[in-house]
Amino acid sequence: MNIDLSGKIALVTGAGGQLGRVMVRTLAECGAKVVIHYRSSREKAEELKKEIQEIGRDALIVQADVTNFSSVLQMKDEVLAYYGELPHIIVANAVEQYIWTSVLEQSPSDYESQFNSCVMQSVYLAKAFAPAMIERKEGRIIGINTECSMQNFPSQSAYVAGKRGMDGVYRVLAKEIGEHGITVNQVAPGWTVSDRDRENGTEQSEAYESSVPLKRRGTDQEIANMVAFLASDLASFTTGAYIPVCGGNVMPSI
């Protein structure tokens, strides 16, 4: 049983980031044509495009501010002009970075940035790309959430608020467009090992790993594998799900 995304177009936002680039590579390796979104890291996007082309897959680079609807619509037009059709798979991965601190000390602007990059990005992507999926009677929308949404630890408030808002949008959207054969799911990584960790020798953290049932941190590839699964026909009857990929560090209850 293989994951075959041949003939599909997959758009990944924040594709030049530590996790985004691995998801792009994995979707391309499964046969998808890929749209590499970036906001400011053009050089990283170009490097990733070259990698994708070297494995014989097509790739398009698009620049957009996913917190601005006009910019998202412009990205949509660029994809349509290049491929002649819109993506079958959307992966909402981009998020604003900021310094975490307590609720009392966190800047109000940080809450706004998380709302815009988590909630409004999800809304704008749905408005831009879901209508074509509805017309096609198929589609996959995948949001990258976080285990922090269930942890609610000190200093996480702005991030958790944004991601919990995103969760609400995705659960409602799953019910609204499911009748058209479109699935809407979320992948919630734990503290993930990325290329930055491998380069810096920071793959392990005893304090964190001690609380994880599998006693290790997950890898970027393991997150990308779940994204590829949800993007495929193997997950055709899974929708509205929040799926932690964190070694059991958080466990949704029933």
Exposure string for 176-214, b = 16+ CB within 10 A, e = fewer: ebeeeebbbbbbbbbbbbbeebeeeeeeeeeeeeeebee
Closest residue by Cα to residue 189 from 153, 223, 214, 163? 223
Work out the burial of residue 238: count CB atoms within 10 Å of its CB; fewer than 13 is exposed, 13-18 middle, 19 or more buried.
Answer: middle
pLDDT in tens, the chain (254 residues): 799 999 999 999 999 999 999 999 999 999 999 999 999 889 999 999 999 999 999 999 999 999 999 999 999 999 999 999 999 999 999 999 999 999 999 999 999 999 999 999 999 999 999 999 999 999 999 999 999 999 999 999 999 999 999 999 999 999 999 999 999 999 999 999 998 999 999 999 999 999 999 999 999 999 999 999 999 999 999 999 999 999 999 999 98
Picking from 12, 44, 17, 13, the residue whose alpha carbon sits closest to that of residue 28 is 12
Q: Which of 82, 111, 124, 159 is catalytic?
A: 159
| Whole-structure pTM value | 0.96
Short-list 132, 176, 181, CA closest to 11: 132
Pick the CATH number of 9-245 from 3.40.1260.10, 3.40.50.300, 3.40.50.720, 1.10.10.1590: 3.40.50.720
Q: Coil, strand, or helix at residue 33?
A: strand
Question: 115: closest CA among 83, 154, 162?
Answer: 162
Active site annotation includes 159: yes
